[in-house]
Amino acid sequence: MITLDEKFRALEADNAPGQEVRQDLGELNAIMRGGKFDGVPVDFSHGDVDAFPPTPGSAEAWKNGFDRGGHQAYTEYRGAAKIREGLADRLGAFTGRPVSADSELIITPGTQGALFLALGATVTAGTKVAVVEPDYFANRKLVKFFGGEIIPIPLHYQGSLSENGPDLNRLEAAFKSGTKVFVFSTPNNPTGLVYSDSTITAISALGAAHDVTIIVDQLYSRMLYSGEVYTHLRSCDILPENLITIMGPSKTESLSGFRLGTAFGTSKLIDRMERLQAIVSLRAAGYNQAALETWFQEPLGWMEERISDHEAIRDELLKIFRAANFLTATPQAGSYLFPQLPPLSVDLNTFIRLLRHQAEVTVTPGPEFAPAFSDSIRLNFSQDHAAAVAAAARIVKMVEVYRT
């Protein structure tokens, strides 16, 4: 049996986004080549909500919640009924299938909270869980924490659109050999790949045929770049019996400081998630839930502008990295880039620490997303445009300095 020490070693979080401040940067001067690079510090480990501020009206919505008093402070564990009603309508319309506010929706402390509850509701000791590689780093940690077994599914993301996507043969084989849960993100974190309509349809049908619970993290599905098409799994004709969709306003809408997310789908699983919520943190902070009133109700043109601003940054960073011959897939949605670096004379973690120390640029190491990606870094390019471009140029310069 796994000991608590082993269990928590697997949860090591020092390289997780936002945790870099806890790293010891000593000893770096000894291996640093050349001097420091000038420039505005950029933390690509998460979006900059000062560059892309929260949805207009979100602070006022919070204050309205606060002023509503006890009723808003002590909501049901699954969230305030009235807020769920509006949300269910809007999420149902967006994802192409009605959502019952009463039985099929839970408000959670961020989409991280939703993922934790969804996996906690479906994974126990020995449960086989298919996990895409690369994908959001918490997926693997959560499966391990609940005692499940990870069945890795490779994702092709550097090919043509028709080649890209998860390996469906591997997925079917996993489903046939006892996999009970499949968790994945689309748009994929860290690559920005959007699963195609045919892939989503196939996954849904496979889940239905083999009675596999599907947990689909659609956190970035609103930030879809020009010409791209998004298929919501829950809009498929053939659906698995157990399906949870996860979305939240932390990214595109910059409401991460409110810790709000939602999960919606199979009522039996939503019930379990609420029971778990009751012992985890009771509820998403009551007053904060009120900020969800702004979600999917942003001012006219606001979302379009936000998307085109990000697309402009994406295009410029792609140009910079490709000019330096970093193999970098084009994100179809979301604000992540996952460039592959040429061979370096230092290991990736050292390079990343040097990058932070010498060039004031923070990125997330590829192995957070699956062990094999020790030559890749993830950038969240939801940043001030000029600062992001300058920081990307510094990354290229740093690679020149440290390449073999």
CA triplet 248, 254, 260: central angle to 5 degrees?
35
Does 369 bind a copy of itself (CB under 8 A)? Our answer is no
Candidate residues 141, 232, 310, 314; the one interacting with a copy of itself per rule CB under 8 A: 141
Residues touching a copy of itself: how many (CB under 8 A)? Answer: 71
* 300 near a copy of itself (CB under 8 A): no
Tokens encoding 225: 């770049």
Nearest Cα neighbor of 213 from 248, 256, 184, 252 is 184
Among 44, 157, 195, 258, the residue binding a copy of itself under the rule CB under 8 A is: 258
1, 30, 229, 300: residue in contact with a copy of itself (rule CB under 8 A): 1
Beta strands, E only, 220-376: 243-247, 261-265, 336-337, 361-362, 364-365
Answer whether the bond into residue 187 is a cis peptide, omega within 30°: yes
C-beta closer to a copy of itself: residue 12 or 85: 12
Q: Binding to a copy of itself (CB under 8 A): which residues in 144-203?
A: 145
CA–CA–CA angle 154, 159, 162 (5° rounding):
90
Which residue, 127 or 218, has its beta carbon nearer to a copy of itself?
Answer: 127
How long, in residues, is the chain? 404
Residue 12, interface with a copy of itself (CB under 8 A)?
A: yes
73 touches a copy of itself (CB under 8 A): yes
Sign of the CA dihedral with 127 first, then 132, 138, and 141 last: positive
CB of residue 35 to a copy of itself, shortest distance in Å: 27
Contact call for residue 22 and a copy of itself (CB under 8 A) = yes
Q: Indicate the residue among 283 and 394 with the shorter CB distance to a copy of itself.
A: 283
Minimal distance, residue 14 CB to a copy of itself, in Å:
9
Q: Which of these ranges, 60-68, 83-91, 188-196, 306-314, lies near a copy of itself under the rule CB under 8 A? A: 60-68
Does position 8 bind a copy of itself by CB under 8 A?
A: yes
CB of 49 to a copy of itself, least distance (A): 4
Segment near a copy of itself (CB under 8 A), from 42-50, 224-232, 335-343, 363-371?
42-50
b/e per residue 354-369 (b: at least 16 CB within 10 A)? bbbbbbbbbbbbbbbb
Find the shortest distance in angstroms from Cβ 113 to a copy of itself: 4
Among 104, 253, 274, 293, binds a copy of itself (CB under 8 A): 274
Residue 177 · residue 207 · CB < 8 Å:
no
Q: Residue 285 CB, nearest distance to a copy of itself (Å)?
A: 4
List binders of a copy of itself among 236-255 (CB under 8 A): 254
The nearer residue to a copy of itself, 17 or 166, going by C-beta atoms, is 17
353 within 8 A of 206, measured Cβ to Cβ:
no
Q: Which of 82, 156, 170, 275 is close enough to bind a copy of itself by CB under 8 A?
A: 275
Closer CB to a copy of itself, residue 136 or residue 230?
136
246: left (phi over 0), alpha (psi -120 to 50) or beta: beta
Cα atoms in the Cβ-side hemisphere of radius 13 Å centred on 170: 15
Output the smallest distance, CB 263 to a copy of itself, in A.
Answer: 13
As beta bridge partners, residue 129 has: 150, 181
CB atoms inside a 10 Å sphere around CB 210? 18
Q: How far is the CB of 124 from a copy of itself (least distance, A)?
A: 5
Find the binding residues for a copy of itself in span 99-118 (CB under 8 A).
108-110, 112-113, 116
* Token output for 107: 């408000």
CA 383/CA 52 separation, integer angstroms? 7
Q: Which of 30, 38, 163, 279 binds a copy of itself (CB under 8 A)?
A: 279
Closest distance of CB 140 from a copy of itself, Å? 10
What sign for the dihedral angle of Cα 24, 29, 30, 33?
Answer: positive
Burial class, 2, CB count within 10 angstroms (exposed 0-12 / middle 13-18 / buried 19+): exposed
Give least dist CB 150 to a copy of itself, A: 14
* 25, 27, 41, 81: residue in contact with a copy of itself (rule CB under 8 A): 81
| Cα–Cα nearest to 318, from 335, 306, 304 | 335
Q: List the one residue out of 223, 273, 224, 226 whose CA is nearest residue 245.
A: 273
- Give me the least distance between CB of 28 and a copy of itself, in Å please: 21
Report how far residue 45's alpha carbon sits from residue 12's, in angstroms, rounded to the nearest whole number. 16
Q: Which residue's CB is nearer to a copy of itself, number 7 or number 322?
A: 7
14 backbone dihedrals φ, ψ, rounded to 5°: -65, -25
